Amino acid sequence: MATIKKIEGKTGISYKITVCAGRNQKGKQIRRYMTYTPPPGMRENRAEQEAMLTAARFEESLRQGYQSGSRITFEEYAEQFLRNKLRAGLKRSTYDRYLLLLRRINPAIGYMKLQDIRPQHLNLFYEALAKRDTRLEVVKALPIKDLSALMQEKNIKQEPLARICGIASATIRQARSGKAIQWEKAEAISKALGCPTEELFQKQRNTLPLSAKSVLEHHRLIRTILGQAEKELIVPYNAASKATPPRARRKEVNTFQPEEIVNILSALENEPIKWHCLIHLMIVTGCRRGEICGLKWSQIDMQHGIIHICQTRLSSDCGAYTDTPKTPESQRYIKIPKESIALLKRYAVDQEHGKMCVGDRWEDTGYVFTGEYGRPLHPDSINGWLNHFSQRHGFRHINPHAFRHSMASILINSGADILSVSRRLGHTKASTTLNFYGHVLQQADAQSSECIADVLLRGVKTT
C-alpha cells in the first residue's frame, strides 16, 4: 500500500509517495519513491485527490515492471530520442523542426522527470503558447537604408551576394524592396557588405500569438517522445495522449481555376525562359517547389517524356541543401506532355548560351534550374519571383504549392481515379489525397450524379 506525505516548501505544496516493492535478499524492504507536484492554482482538495491517483498508478506501474526508479528528465530523454531517430534515418528537415519546437518545450517541462509529467502540466503549456510574446523568432530586421544603392556602390550583384551570405537570392530581393527579413540573415548581409547591422537594419518584434496549428505541432512532438518512453516502460502512460491540445482548423486548399492557369501560362510566354519553364513544370507535374529545384538533366527522359523525381532542395537557417524526397513514395516517375519537352529543349539551349557567357565561372552541377553561375536555385527564390510576377501581371497572390493543388483538382474533376492522382503527387497513402481533396471529390461526385440523372431519369441523349 502506498503512503503519501504532504510537504510544504518555499515553492509550494508537494506530495512524497512511498511504495514498498518487496524485500531484498537480506529481507530488507525495497522502497520506491516519487514526488507529485500539483500544477499552480490547483485547489488543495483536488491536489490531494490527484496525489492519491498518482500513488495508485505508481504502485500499479511497479507491479507491471515499469522503470520507476528512472530519474531521467524530459530534456535528457528528448535528446536521447533524437539521437536514436537520427541513427534510424530521420530527415534533416524534420530534425531541424524538432529542435526548434524543443526550444519552447524544454523551458516549460524539460526539467521535469518523465514520470512527473501530467496532462495538466501540458495543458498549461499549450495555453501559454497561445498567448502573445511566445514566439522565438520575435526579432525581424527592417531595412533602413537603400540596399540597392549600397550594393551598386560596393559593385556586387544580388546572386553573388546571396551566395556569399549562404541565403536565398529572394531574401536579398525582399530586403532590397524594404521588407522585413530574419535578423540572422540581415547580419549575414551586413557582414558581406562590410557594414554594422544596426546601420542597415532596425529590429522589429513579432508579438502575435502562435496559431493553433503551431501549438498542435508542439503537442505532437511531446506525444511522440512520451509515447516512446511508454514503449520502453519508463512511464506507465503517455500524459500527452490524455492532454487537451487546441484544434487546428484545416484550411481549404488554395487552387486556381483552369482559366486562371491558362492566363498564367500565357503571361509566362513573355518572361525569361528559365522561369517560364520552371513554373510550367510545376503546373503540369504538381511537384513541390523543392522537387523542381532538385531536378537534374540526367533525370529527364526527353525521348519518352518522363521525369524522375528522386531528390529535393530544402531550405534551412544555414542555407539550402539537397536531400532525398519526403517519403519513399515521393520518389516517382511523372509523364509530361510533349509541349513541356519542347520547352525544356528550348531552355537547355538557353542554358548552354549562359554557360558560354560566364566561361570558367560556370559550375557544372547538372541541375536543370540554376543561378547565373550554375549553382542550383534556392527554393525560396521561386516564392520571391512569383510575388513580382503576380504583381506585374495583376494576378492574385501565387503560392507555389497552389499549382500542386490545382493540378490535383483538375485531374479529379476530369475523372482521374484517386490512386493515380495520389501516385502523381507522391503521397504515401491515398487517404492523404482524400483528406486534402475531399471537397473536390464531392463536387466531382455531384457532377456524376447529375450526369446519371440526365441519362437515366431525364431522357437526355448523349453523343
C-alpha cell at 215: 501549438
- In this prediction, residue 346 carries a pLDDT of 96
Nearest Cα to Cα of residue 411 among 402, 424, 400, 401: 424
C-alpha cell at 192: 558581406
Q: Are the CB atoms for 362 and 369 separated by under 8 Å?
A: no
- In this prediction, residue 221 carries a pLDDT of 97
Helix or strand holding residue 108 (H, E)? none
- In this prediction, residue 446 carries a pLDDT of 54
Q: Are the CB atoms for 328 and 335 separated by under 8 Å?
A: no
Pinpoint the alpha helices (H) of 64-180.
Answer: 74-87, 92-105, 119-129, 147-154, 158-165, 169-176
Q: Are the CB atoms for 28 and 19 separated by under 8 Å?
A: no
Residue 301 forms beta bridges with which residues? 306
CA–CA separation, 419 vs 422, rounded Å?
5
CA 153 to chain centre: 38
CA–CA separation, 418 vs 423, rounded Å?
9
Q: Are the CB atoms for 104 and 134 separated by under 8 Å?
A: yes
- In this prediction, residue 243 carries a pLDDT of 94
pLDDT digit string (tens) for the chain, length 463 residues:
788 999 988 778 899 988 887 777 777 887 878 888 888 888 888 999 999 988 888 787 777 665 554 678 999 999 999 999 998 888 888 898 999 899 999 999 999 999 889 999 999 999 988 886 556 555 788 999 999 999 999 999 888 898 888 887 778 888 998 888 888 889 999 999 999 999 999 988 766 778 888 999 999 999 999 999 999 888 888 999 999 998 877 666 778 888 999 999 999 999 999 999 999 999 999 999 999 999 999 999 999 999 999 999 987 766 678 888 878 888 999 999 999 999 999 999 999 999 999 899 899 999 999 988 899 988 988 988 998 899 999 999 898 999 998 888 888 877 788 888 888 888 888 777 777 766 555 555 555 555 545 544 555 555 5
- In this prediction, residue 177 carries a pLDDT of 86
**How, if at all, do strands 306-309 and 300-301 pair?**
antiparallel
Helix axis angle, 212-231 to 92-105, nearest 10°: 100
Residues comprising the chain, all counted: 463
Nearest Cα to Cα of residue 302 among 342, 330, 266, 273: 342
- In this prediction, residue 133 carries a pLDDT of 58
Q: Are the CB atoms for 134 and 209 separated by under 8 Å?
A: yes
- E strand map for 144-284: 181-182, 201-205
CA–CA separation, 422 vs 408, rounded Å?
9
What are φ and ψ of residue 293, in 5° steps?
-65, -30
What one-letter code names the amino acid at 294? Answer: G
C-alpha cell at 56: 495508485
What are φ and ψ of residue 3, in 5° steps?
-115, 145
Torsion of CA 430, 432, 437, 442, to 10 degrees: 60
**How, if at all, do strands 181-182 and 29-36 pair?**
unpaired
- Would you call 385 exposed, middle or buried from its count of C-beta atoms within 10 A (0-12, 13-18, 19+)? buried
HEC secondary structure over 214-228: HHHHHHHHHHHHHHH
